[in-house]
Amino acid sequence: MSNSTFRTAVVRTPGGPESIEVIDVPVVDPGPGEIRVRIAAASVNPVDLGVAEGFFHGMGLINQPEHTGLGWDFAGTVVASGPGVDLAAGTDVAGLVAGFDRDFGTYAEQIVVPAADVAVVPDGLDLVAAATVPLNGLTAAQILDLLGEPPTDGNRLLVTGAAGAVGGYLLPLAQDRGWQVTGLARADDEGFVRGLGADFIDHATPGWDAVADAAGLQEQGFALVRDGGAFVGVRPGSEPAAERGVTVAAVSVHADGPGLSELLARTASGELPARVHAVLSLDQAADAQRAIAKGGVRGRYVLKP
Ligand SMILES: NC(=O)c1ccc[n+]([C@@H]2O[C@H](COP(=O)([O-])OP(=O)(O)OC[C@H]3O[C@@H](n4cnc5c(N)ncnc54)[C@H](OP(=O)(O)O)[C@@H]3O)[C@@H](O)[C@H]2O)c1
Protein backbone atom coordinates (compact mmCIF):
# COMPACT_ATOMS: atom_id res chain seq x y z
CA MET A 1 0.00 0.00 0.00
CA SER A 2 1.33 3.43 -0.84
CA ASN A 3 1.05 6.26 1.64
CA SER A 4 -1.48 8.09 -0.48
CA THR A 5 -4.01 5.38 -1.29
CA PHE A 6 -5.76 2.55 0.52
CA ARG A 7 -7.73 -0.53 -0.54
CA THR A 8 -11.50 -0.73 -0.27
CA ALA A 9 -14.22 -3.05 -1.58
CA VAL A 10 -16.95 -1.42 -3.67
CA VAL A 11 -19.56 -2.18 -6.32
CA ARG A 12 -19.73 -0.15 -9.54
CA THR A 13 -22.65 -1.84 -11.28
CA PRO A 14 -24.39 -3.89 -8.58
CA GLY A 15 -25.03 -7.51 -9.51
CA GLY A 16 -24.44 -9.58 -6.37
CA PRO A 17 -21.17 -10.81 -4.85
CA GLU A 18 -19.53 -11.16 -8.28
CA SER A 19 -19.75 -7.40 -8.71
CA ILE A 20 -17.62 -6.66 -5.63
CA GLU A 21 -14.16 -5.36 -6.50
CA VAL A 22 -11.28 -4.12 -4.39
CA ILE A 23 -9.90 -0.79 -5.62
CA ASP A 24 -7.34 1.78 -4.47
CA VAL A 25 -8.71 5.18 -3.44
CA PRO A 26 -6.98 8.30 -2.12
CA VAL A 27 -6.34 8.75 1.59
CA VAL A 28 -8.46 11.58 3.04
CA ASP A 29 -7.43 13.71 6.00
CA PRO A 30 -9.94 13.96 8.84
CA GLY A 31 -11.76 17.29 9.06
CA PRO A 32 -13.02 19.03 12.21
CA GLY A 33 -14.54 16.52 14.60
CA GLU A 34 -13.39 13.56 12.50
CA ILE A 35 -10.89 10.73 12.90
CA ARG A 36 -9.13 8.47 10.42
CA VAL A 37 -9.15 4.84 11.55
CA ARG A 38 -6.98 1.98 10.34
CA ILE A 39 -9.62 -0.74 10.14
CA ALA A 40 -8.73 -4.06 11.78
CA ALA A 41 -12.07 -5.79 11.28
CA ALA A 42 -15.40 -5.17 9.54
CA SER A 43 -18.55 -7.29 9.79
CA VAL A 44 -20.44 -8.61 6.78
CA ASN A 45 -24.12 -7.91 7.40
CA PRO A 46 -27.32 -8.73 5.47
CA VAL A 47 -27.65 -5.08 4.38
CA ASP A 48 -24.34 -5.38 2.51
CA LEU A 49 -25.78 -8.19 0.37
CA GLY A 50 -28.66 -5.88 -0.53
CA VAL A 51 -26.23 -3.12 -1.54
CA ALA A 52 -24.11 -5.47 -3.67
CA GLU A 53 -27.12 -6.91 -5.47
CA GLY A 54 -28.61 -3.48 -6.19
CA PHE A 55 -31.72 -3.80 -4.01
CA PHE A 56 -31.23 -0.37 -2.47
CA HIS A 57 -30.22 1.18 -5.80
CA GLY A 58 -33.56 -0.13 -7.09
CA MET A 59 -35.36 1.55 -4.19
CA GLY A 60 -33.75 4.86 -5.16
CA LEU A 61 -31.72 5.00 -1.95
CA ILE A 62 -28.31 4.88 -3.67
CA ASN A 63 -27.26 7.24 -6.43
CA GLN A 64 -23.47 7.03 -6.63
CA PRO A 65 -21.87 8.17 -9.89
CA GLU A 66 -18.75 5.98 -9.70
CA HIS A 67 -19.00 3.26 -7.09
CA THR A 68 -20.82 2.43 -3.85
CA GLY A 69 -19.02 1.58 -0.61
CA LEU A 70 -19.79 -1.62 1.29
CA GLY A 71 -19.93 -2.22 5.03
CA TRP A 72 -21.59 -0.51 8.00
CA ASP A 73 -19.53 -1.39 11.07
CA PHE A 74 -15.88 -1.70 11.98
CA ALA A 75 -13.25 -1.80 14.70
CA GLY A 76 -9.74 -0.44 14.36
CA THR A 77 -7.16 2.01 15.56
CA VAL A 78 -7.17 5.80 15.33
CA VAL A 79 -4.30 6.99 13.10
CA ALA A 80 -5.16 10.70 12.76
CA SER A 81 -7.53 13.16 14.43
CA GLY A 82 -9.01 16.36 13.03
CA PRO A 83 -9.40 19.63 14.94
CA GLY A 84 -11.48 19.40 18.10
CA VAL A 85 -11.06 15.66 18.63
CA ASP A 86 -9.55 14.30 21.83
CA LEU A 87 -9.06 10.70 20.68
CA ALA A 88 -5.31 10.11 20.46
CA ALA A 89 -3.63 8.16 17.68
CA GLY A 90 -3.31 4.55 18.80
CA THR A 91 -6.72 4.39 20.50
CA ASP A 92 -8.80 1.34 19.56
CA VAL A 93 -12.35 2.23 18.56
CA ALA A 94 -15.43 0.65 17.01
CA GLY A 95 -18.18 2.41 15.12
CA LEU A 96 -21.16 2.49 12.80
CA VAL A 97 -21.42 4.20 9.43
CA ALA A 98 -25.14 4.46 8.76
CA GLY A 99 -26.86 5.35 5.51
CA PHE A 100 -26.84 3.78 2.08
CA ASP A 101 -25.75 6.45 -0.37
CA ARG A 102 -21.97 6.67 0.04
CA ASP A 103 -18.87 5.91 -2.01
CA PHE A 104 -17.00 4.58 1.03
CA GLY A 105 -17.65 1.83 3.57
CA THR A 106 -16.05 -0.30 6.23
CA TYR A 107 -14.86 -3.09 3.90
CA ALA A 108 -11.63 -1.10 3.68
CA GLU A 109 -8.18 -0.55 5.11
CA GLN A 110 -9.15 2.90 6.38
CA ILE A 111 -12.13 5.10 7.05
CA VAL A 112 -12.76 8.72 8.07
CA VAL A 113 -15.73 9.11 10.44
CA PRO A 114 -17.08 11.61 12.98
CA ALA A 115 -15.45 10.95 16.36
CA ALA A 116 -18.91 11.22 17.95
CA ASP A 117 -20.00 8.09 16.07
CA VAL A 118 -17.37 5.77 17.59
CA ALA A 119 -16.68 4.31 21.01
CA VAL A 120 -13.41 3.25 22.60
CA VAL A 121 -13.02 -0.54 22.64
CA PRO A 122 -12.58 -1.67 26.25
CA ASP A 123 -9.61 -3.74 27.37
CA GLY A 124 -10.27 -7.43 27.02
CA LEU A 125 -12.40 -7.18 23.88
CA ASP A 126 -10.53 -8.03 20.69
CA LEU A 127 -11.16 -5.97 17.59
CA VAL A 128 -12.70 -8.83 15.60
CA ALA A 129 -15.37 -9.36 18.26
CA ALA A 130 -15.80 -5.59 18.70
CA ALA A 131 -16.52 -5.19 14.97
CA THR A 132 -19.60 -7.40 15.31
CA VAL A 133 -21.27 -5.10 17.87
CA PRO A 134 -22.10 -1.67 16.37
CA LEU A 135 -24.72 -2.29 13.68
CA ASN A 136 -26.70 -5.01 15.34
CA GLY A 137 -26.27 -4.02 18.98
CA LEU A 138 -27.41 -0.47 18.24
CA THR A 139 -30.28 -1.72 16.07
CA ALA A 140 -31.55 -3.86 18.94
CA ALA A 141 -31.25 -0.99 21.43
CA GLN A 142 -33.06 1.36 19.06
CA ILE A 143 -35.85 -1.19 18.41
CA LEU A 144 -36.40 -1.24 22.18
CA ASP A 145 -36.42 2.58 22.25
CA LEU A 146 -39.21 2.48 19.64
CA LEU A 147 -41.17 -0.05 21.72
CA GLY A 148 -40.86 2.13 24.81
CA GLU A 149 -41.64 1.05 28.34
CA PRO A 150 -43.43 -2.31 28.60
CA PRO A 151 -47.09 -1.67 29.53
CA THR A 152 -47.95 -2.82 33.04
CA ASP A 153 -50.92 -4.78 31.67
CA GLY A 154 -48.91 -6.68 29.05
CA ASN A 155 -45.16 -7.16 28.75
CA ARG A 156 -44.93 -10.36 26.69
CA LEU A 157 -42.52 -9.65 23.83
CA LEU A 158 -41.88 -12.02 20.92
CA VAL A 159 -38.52 -11.61 19.16
CA THR A 160 -38.54 -13.18 15.69
CA GLY A 161 -35.18 -14.20 14.22
CA ALA A 162 -34.04 -14.58 17.82
CA ALA A 163 -30.86 -16.45 16.91
CA GLY A 164 -29.74 -13.83 14.39
CA ALA A 165 -27.42 -10.95 15.11
CA VAL A 166 -30.12 -8.39 15.97
CA GLY A 167 -32.20 -11.05 17.75
CA GLY A 168 -29.26 -12.17 19.87
CA TYR A 169 -28.96 -8.64 21.29
CA LEU A 170 -32.71 -8.14 21.65
CA LEU A 171 -33.12 -11.15 23.94
CA PRO A 172 -30.97 -9.86 26.84
CA LEU A 173 -31.52 -6.12 26.26
CA ALA A 174 -35.32 -6.50 26.24
CA GLN A 175 -35.27 -8.41 29.52
CA ASP A 176 -33.22 -5.57 31.03
CA ARG A 177 -35.98 -3.17 30.07
CA GLY A 178 -38.68 -5.24 31.76
CA TRP A 179 -40.02 -7.34 28.92
CA GLN A 180 -40.89 -11.01 29.40
CA VAL A 181 -39.14 -12.31 26.29
CA THR A 182 -39.78 -15.27 24.00
CA GLY A 183 -37.56 -15.97 20.99
CA LEU A 184 -38.86 -17.44 17.72
CA ALA A 185 -36.02 -19.25 15.98
CA ARG A 186 -35.14 -22.51 14.22
CA ALA A 187 -35.35 -25.74 16.25
CA ASP A 188 -31.54 -26.00 16.39
CA ASP A 189 -31.32 -22.54 18.00
CA GLU A 190 -33.17 -23.49 21.20
CA GLY A 191 -30.00 -23.75 23.31
CA PHE A 192 -28.80 -20.30 22.22
CA VAL A 193 -32.16 -18.62 22.91
CA ARG A 194 -32.72 -20.25 26.29
CA GLY A 195 -29.07 -19.62 27.19
CA LEU A 196 -29.85 -15.90 27.03
CA GLY A 197 -32.68 -16.29 29.53
CA ALA A 198 -35.57 -16.14 27.07
CA ASP A 199 -38.39 -18.61 26.43
CA PHE A 200 -38.26 -20.37 23.08
CA ILE A 201 -40.66 -21.31 20.29
CA ASP A 202 -39.91 -22.68 16.82
CA HIS A 203 -43.41 -22.18 15.42
CA ALA A 204 -45.14 -18.82 15.38
CA THR A 205 -48.10 -18.42 17.72
CA PRO A 206 -50.30 -15.30 17.92
CA GLY A 207 -51.37 -13.09 20.83
CA TRP A 208 -48.16 -11.28 21.89
CA ASP A 209 -48.28 -7.86 23.53
CA ALA A 210 -45.41 -6.80 21.29
CA VAL A 211 -43.34 -8.24 18.44
CA ALA A 212 -39.79 -7.19 17.57
CA ASP A 213 -39.49 -8.55 14.05
CA ALA A 214 -35.76 -9.19 13.62
CA ALA A 215 -36.49 -11.98 11.10
CA GLY A 216 -38.23 -9.48 8.82
CA LEU A 217 -41.43 -11.54 8.72
CA GLN A 218 -43.37 -8.30 8.10
CA GLU A 219 -47.15 -8.99 7.73
CA GLN A 220 -46.71 -12.48 9.19
CA GLY A 221 -44.92 -10.96 12.18
CA PHE A 222 -47.54 -8.24 12.53
CA ALA A 223 -50.26 -10.91 12.64
CA LEU A 224 -48.69 -12.31 15.82
CA VAL A 225 -49.41 -9.10 17.80
CA ARG A 226 -52.57 -8.97 19.91
CA ASP A 227 -55.15 -6.24 19.26
CA GLY A 228 -53.85 -2.96 20.71
CA GLY A 229 -50.25 -4.25 20.95
CA ALA A 230 -47.05 -3.00 19.32
CA PHE A 231 -44.94 -4.06 16.33
CA VAL A 232 -41.44 -2.88 15.46
CA GLY A 233 -39.92 -4.06 12.19
CA VAL A 234 -36.54 -3.79 10.48
CA ARG A 235 -37.68 -2.50 7.06
CA PRO A 236 -38.31 1.25 7.25
CA GLY A 237 -40.54 2.39 4.40
CA SER A 238 -42.11 -1.08 4.08
CA GLU A 239 -43.94 -1.32 7.40
CA PRO A 240 -47.07 -3.49 7.56
CA ALA A 241 -50.29 -1.45 7.59
CA ALA A 242 -51.47 -0.57 11.11
CA GLU A 243 -54.72 -2.38 11.94
CA ARG A 244 -56.55 -3.61 15.04
CA GLY A 245 -55.17 -0.78 17.17
CA VAL A 246 -51.61 -2.13 16.85
CA THR A 247 -48.90 0.55 16.77
CA VAL A 248 -46.38 0.03 13.97
CA ALA A 249 -42.81 1.31 13.68
CA ALA A 250 -39.63 0.29 11.91
CA VAL A 251 -36.08 0.90 13.05
CA SER A 252 -33.63 2.89 10.96
CA VAL A 253 -30.39 2.51 12.85
CA HIS A 254 -28.27 5.56 13.59
CA ALA A 255 -24.81 6.00 15.10
CA ASP A 256 -24.68 6.53 18.87
CA GLY A 257 -21.20 6.67 20.39
CA PRO A 258 -22.29 6.59 24.06
CA GLY A 259 -24.81 3.82 23.39
CA LEU A 260 -22.15 1.80 21.59
CA SER A 261 -19.74 2.32 24.47
CA GLU A 262 -22.21 0.64 26.82
CA LEU A 263 -22.79 -2.24 24.38
CA LEU A 264 -19.04 -2.83 24.02
CA ALA A 265 -18.54 -2.84 27.79
CA ARG A 266 -21.32 -5.39 28.20
CA THR A 267 -19.84 -7.51 25.40
CA ALA A 268 -16.41 -7.40 27.06
CA SER A 269 -17.96 -8.55 30.35
CA GLY A 270 -19.72 -11.46 28.64
CA GLU A 271 -23.25 -10.15 29.35
CA LEU A 272 -23.94 -9.78 25.63
CA PRO A 273 -23.08 -12.46 23.07
CA ALA A 274 -20.08 -11.93 20.77
CA ARG A 275 -20.45 -14.25 17.82
CA VAL A 276 -17.86 -14.57 15.08
CA HIS A 277 -18.51 -17.24 12.46
CA ALA A 278 -15.27 -16.84 10.50
CA VAL A 279 -12.56 -14.29 9.72
CA LEU A 280 -11.74 -13.70 6.05
CA SER A 281 -9.60 -11.22 4.11
CA LEU A 282 -10.93 -8.15 2.29
CA ASP A 283 -10.42 -10.00 -0.99
CA GLN A 284 -12.82 -12.70 0.23
CA ALA A 285 -15.76 -10.33 0.77
CA ALA A 286 -17.66 -11.96 -2.09
CA ASP A 287 -17.10 -15.43 -0.59
CA ALA A 288 -18.54 -14.23 2.72
CA GLN A 289 -21.60 -12.76 1.01
CA ARG A 290 -22.20 -15.95 -1.00
CA ALA A 291 -22.04 -18.02 2.20
CA ILE A 292 -24.46 -15.72 4.05
CA ALA A 293 -26.91 -15.75 1.13
CA LYS A 294 -27.43 -19.49 1.68
CA GLY A 295 -28.87 -18.83 5.17
CA GLY A 296 -28.28 -20.69 8.40
CA VAL A 297 -25.06 -18.88 9.35
CA ARG A 298 -24.81 -18.08 13.06
CA GLY A 299 -22.33 -15.41 14.06
CA ARG A 300 -20.83 -12.86 11.71
CA TYR A 301 -18.29 -13.21 8.96
CA VAL A 302 -15.63 -10.61 9.73
CA LEU A 303 -13.24 -9.17 7.13
CA LYS A 304 -9.66 -8.31 8.10
CA PRO A 305 -8.20 -5.95 5.50
N1 LIG B 1 -33.51 -1.13 9.54
C2 LIG B 1 -32.34 -1.21 10.16
O3 LIG B 1 -31.82 -0.20 10.64
C4 LIG B 1 -31.66 -2.55 10.28
C5 LIG B 1 -30.47 -2.66 11.01
C6 LIG B 1 -29.87 -3.92 11.15
C7 LIG B 1 -30.47 -5.03 10.56
N8 LIG B 1 -31.60 -4.86 9.82
C9 LIG B 1 -32.26 -6.03 9.20
O10 LIG B 1 -32.68 -6.88 10.26
C11 LIG B 1 -32.72 -8.22 9.81
C12 LIG B 1 -31.95 -9.09 10.78
O13 LIG B 1 -30.56 -8.80 10.66
P14 LIG B 1 -29.50 -9.83 11.28
O15 LIG B 1 -28.18 -9.28 11.02
O16 LIG B 1 -29.91 -10.19 12.66
O17 LIG B 1 -29.76 -11.08 10.33
P18 LIG B 1 -29.36 -12.60 10.62
O19 LIG B 1 -28.20 -12.66 11.54
O20 LIG B 1 -29.32 -13.27 9.29
O21 LIG B 1 -30.61 -13.14 11.45
C22 LIG B 1 -31.87 -13.38 10.91
C23 LIG B 1 -32.38 -14.62 11.62
O24 LIG B 1 -33.76 -14.81 11.34
C25 LIG B 1 -33.94 -16.18 11.16
N26 LIG B 1 -35.21 -16.43 10.49
C27 LIG B 1 -35.57 -16.04 9.26
N28 LIG B 1 -36.83 -16.44 9.02
C29 LIG B 1 -37.25 -17.10 10.13
C30 LIG B 1 -38.45 -17.75 10.49
N31 LIG B 1 -39.50 -17.82 9.66
N32 LIG B 1 -38.55 -18.32 11.73
C33 LIG B 1 -37.50 -18.26 12.58
N34 LIG B 1 -36.31 -17.66 12.29
C35 LIG B 1 -36.21 -17.08 11.07
C36 LIG B 1 -32.72 -16.63 10.40
O37 LIG B 1 -32.54 -18.02 10.43
P38 LIG B 1 -31.88 -18.79 9.16
O39 LIG B 1 -30.49 -18.25 9.01
O40 LIG B 1 -31.92 -20.21 9.59
O41 LIG B 1 -32.75 -18.45 7.98
C42 LIG B 1 -31.64 -15.88 11.19
O43 LIG B 1 -31.26 -16.59 12.35
C44 LIG B 1 -32.13 -8.21 8.40
O45 LIG B 1 -33.20 -8.18 7.49
C46 LIG B 1 -31.36 -6.89 8.36
O47 LIG B 1 -31.22 -6.40 7.04
C48 LIG B 1 -32.22 -3.65 9.68
- Residues 133-157 pLDDT 10s: 999 999 999 999 999 999 988 999 9
Average pLDDT over every residue of 235-262: 97
Average pLDDT over every residue of 110-120: 98
Q: What is the pLDDT of residue 293?
A: 98
Going by CA atoms, what residue is nearest to atom 44 of ligand 1? 46
Average pLDDT over every residue of 250-276: 97
Q: What is the pLDDT of residue 2?
A: 43
> Model confidence over 49-101: pLDDT tens digits?
999 999 999 999 999 999 999 999 999 999 999 999 999 999 999 999 999 99
- Does residue 303 carry a pLDDT above 60? yes
Q: How far is the CA of 35 from the centre of ligand 1 (A)?
A: 31
Going by CA atoms, what residue is nearest to atom 24 of ligand 1? 161
Q: Confirm or reject: Cβ of 113 under 6 Å from ligand 1.
A: no
- Does residue 47 carry a pLDDT above 70? yes
Return d(Cα 240, Cα 157) in angstroms, integer. Answer: 18
Average pLDDT over every residue of 244-270: 98
Among residues 108, 84, 212, the alpha carbon closest in space to that of 155 is found at 212
The residues that bridge with 22 in the sheet, in sequence order, are 9
Q: What is the pLDDT of residue 3?
A: 65
Going by CA atoms, what residue is nearest to atom 43 of ligand 1? 164
**CA of 85: how far to CAs of 81, 91, 293, in Å?**
6, 12, 39
Q: What is the pLDDT of residue 1?
A: 40
Q: How far is the CA of 105 from the centre of ligand 1 (A)?
A: 21
From the CB of residue 245, how many other CB atoms can be counted at a distance below 10 Å? Answer: 10
Q: Confirm or reject: Cβ of 214 under 6 Å from ligand 1.
A: yes
Average pLDDT over every residue of 30-36: 98
Mean pLDDT of the chain: 97
Q: Confirm or reject: Cβ of 173 under 6 Å from ligand 1.
A: no
The answer for residues whose C-beta is within 8 angstroms of residue 86's C-beta and 6 or more apart is none
Among residues 114, 119, 122, the alpha carbon closest in space to that of 141 is found at 119
